[in-house]
Amino acid sequence: MKRIIAVANQKGGVGKTTTTVNLGAALAERGARVLLIDFDPQSSLSLSLGVEVLKLDRSIYDALMEEPPEISIDTITRPTTVANLFLAPSSIELARAEPELMGEMSREYFLKNAIQRCAREYDFVLIDCSPSLGILTTNALAAADQVLVPVQADYLAFRGADLLIRTTVEKVRRRLNPNLELLGVLVTMFNSRTTHAREVLEEIRATYGEKVFHTIIKQSTRVKEAPVAGEPLLSYDPRNPLSIAYRELAEEIEAYAEATSHP
């Protein structure tokens, strides 16, 4: 069964795109067919996978807004350098969707409808959300089965993520998507040498308990080199500790998926 996971946090710079691309690559390595949807006008996910976004003829904007839907997610999807890993790219054009959607009926469900029209079979769909709480992020949460929240081991970042989970996610669940659940909180950019980071990690664990992934993503400068090469860190530097960590995260998520799947 397809699992749709929104990777969301209204704060930028907490590792959403890094998590989306490397978790996707790790799941693909394990044999799953994975679709990555770049749902951010900044197009960081597309750029990280070597897409020349200024030269795109079609993007997720077209699959979202085309009426009638002659352009679908299927028609814009492209393979990546990793087997079983596919990308629905974005461009700055997606920024047009925010004001255009505001005048539409059922505007929160445009992405959900686009994903439902996708004929290709995927085991996981990962949506890289924009760092905001606007209509694009609402669309992603309305379309998703689960939300994964990357949280930097920093007090202000933690409080911002807590606000997202307790207000936005809960509001979407009540009003738009009653099946939405918190998949988990992923601690990112962790520096074990600082007391502050260790204290924030303990507060995150105390707040969310079993919803905090066992896997912790530590700080690394190496992770910034992989996007320059246009590929995930897992293929760029397979033995890097972060590559190993994202494989462990994929294992956690697959185990949860298997435990909660219905026959």
CATH number for position 55: 3.40.50.300
- Let me know: does 5 contact 183? Beta carbons within 8 Å: yes
Residue 100 has pLDDT above 60, yes or no: yes
CA distances from 86 to 10, 25, 36, 100, 128 (A): 25, 10, 6, 27, 13
Residue 263: what pLDDT?
56
Residues 123-140 pLDDT 10s: 999 999 998 888 999 999
Q: What is the mean pLDDT of residues 7-14?
A: 86
Instruction: Report the first-to-last Cα separation within the chain, whole angstroms.
Output: 9
Q: 129: which strand partners?
A: 39
Q: What is the mean pLDDT of residues 200-228?
A: 92
Number of domains forming the structure of the chain: 1
Predicted confidence band of residue 68 (pLDDT cuts 50, 70, 90)? low
**Segments forming the whole domain that contains residue 53:** 3-260
What does pLDDT average to over the chain? 92
pLDDT higher at 157 or 6: 6
To the nearest 10 degrees (0 to 180), the angle between helices 241-260 and 16-29 is 70
Residue 182: what pLDDT?
95
Residue 238 has pLDDT above 80, yes or no: yes
Tokens (6 digits) for 245: 């960590």
pTM of the model: 0.95
- Cα–Cα dist 145/125, whole Å: 10
